[in-house]
Chains A and B, each alone.
Chain A
Amino acid sequence: MRRFALLLLAGASSLVAASPRTLGAQGFGVYEHNSCAMGRAGVTAARPCADGSAIFFNPAGLAGLPGTRFSAGVTAIAAKGGFTDDFLNHRTDLDNPVIPVPNAYFTYQANEKLTLGLGAYAPYGLETKWPLEEFEGRFMAYNTDLRAIYIQPTLGYQVSPTLKIGIGFAYITSHLELHQRQDLSPRPIPAALAVPAGLPAGTTFGMVGVPTLTDFADAALEASGTGYAVNFGAIIKVNDNLSIGGHWLTRKHINYDGDAVFEPVATNLVLPVAIGPLPAGTPVDAVLGPQFGAGGALEDGPVSTTIVMPPQGTLGFAYKITDTWSFMADWQYVVWGWFSDVDIDFENPATPDLALHPSNTDTHGFRFGTEYQYSPKVQLRGGYLYHGGASPANFVTPLLPEGPRNEFTIGAGIEMSRKLHVDLAYQFIKQNDRRGTVNTAHGNTGLYQFSANLFGVGLAYTF
């Protein structure tokens, strides 16, 4: 068992290293933590797959799971999409690479009623990457990377023949990166220049003509944090054909601490006429240089923020239509409304803090799945889900241009041997086209489009 625990930890390590980086679910949620579950559109509340993935989907599903099992899998996410700007009619395509999202679960049946487990999964995370050149939204974000890995010891207990319960305590380790460009035009002109030039206090570079969308700095914010959450659930076996179940993963505020690094970006602007003490021909970049030095507004330094990992849960049923065919459905609820403000605080008092107001709304997902025992060794799966959008109409941004989605899945489980089981799954995500912004001060000025193809493979080994 120790050997398998080490295997699991190795899997968790790879999970952290690879990062979730997905837009596989709503908000910055991820739901593709198992290929078996993925094949049936993630419908698992009443009948999780028998491979340990219940650790995430419903810890009660561990109860009664016989033997010792280890499963690991990966979901490859190939996302595509873009933003088409209203004014320039310029389309920028997402630059996301194909991203592998691993998962790993280990279970051990201590006795007939108690099963223990340890799982590593990533219910929250994203990477949104845009090409830097000419993307209008680069001043909000051109690369956002949020990873939240949950490592969860879990136990499932068979209370009675008809009731299972389970609970897990998840240790969360999270990492956040935000890359954005800084626009010179709204920046105030430093007093050292403004005063001798006779410019009124508060004069911005835009007021002396510097065009909007003038890159002058590249900001990279990187921070990490940890926390704990609880995941619990129950399954009731109503009769031999029908089960109902549900689970709840609690909310957690993660406090992040890290560093902000600012690099100058050449504006290549040159003063055509003298301004105060600066003669005609003075490069603007020379004027900006001190901003990046000691005491400047863009001096590198510590940064902190807090992000809410919202609570979520499912409630669903599984119905056995025949001995070989089951139908199941889940309602999924994520309290994205608690993800409403993100304040990024720079320790340097000269650096203006950043405040984002996602003002998300709670989302509801409706998942429908089916599983068919095609032969003693092959199971076929399919599913469909619809999920509302967490982002309100005024905050569809390059950080996370999400919206309501329709998703379709198919999958198969294959018994390779008495101990080895393989699951394969494919999922297509079509997000509704959605108007959005690249600068919240401007309102919605373009159209975001998004779709993705997901491929999952998992191996489950029973000892």
Chain B
Amino acid sequence: MWSWVAHRVTGVAIFFFLLVHVLDTSLVRVSPEAYNEVIATYKNPVMGLGEAGLVAAIVFHAFNGIRIILVDFWSKGTKYQRVMLWIVLGLFVVTMAGFLPRHLMHVFGGE
């Protein structure tokens, strides 16, 4: 139940970011200056934390999505769905433990 709610909430958040992300990337077609100016805002600490949250949402949605596929298509999927949720959360923690220090270093480490 909660994994279902989290899947919806992360999905909606990712969708809205995707709309904004295509628009900001489209600025490469306007001018190098326009693109660089807007992308510079992605490098400030507040946005850096936002990106960490976005990546967390994507990583959960990805691993939980694979769990949903296994529940649907693997004959033992429904039997192991609860175990697989713990595996999803474990993989989420491992992935974020790899990503966060490196990303925060890029955001707060200076040039």
A, B in one complex = no
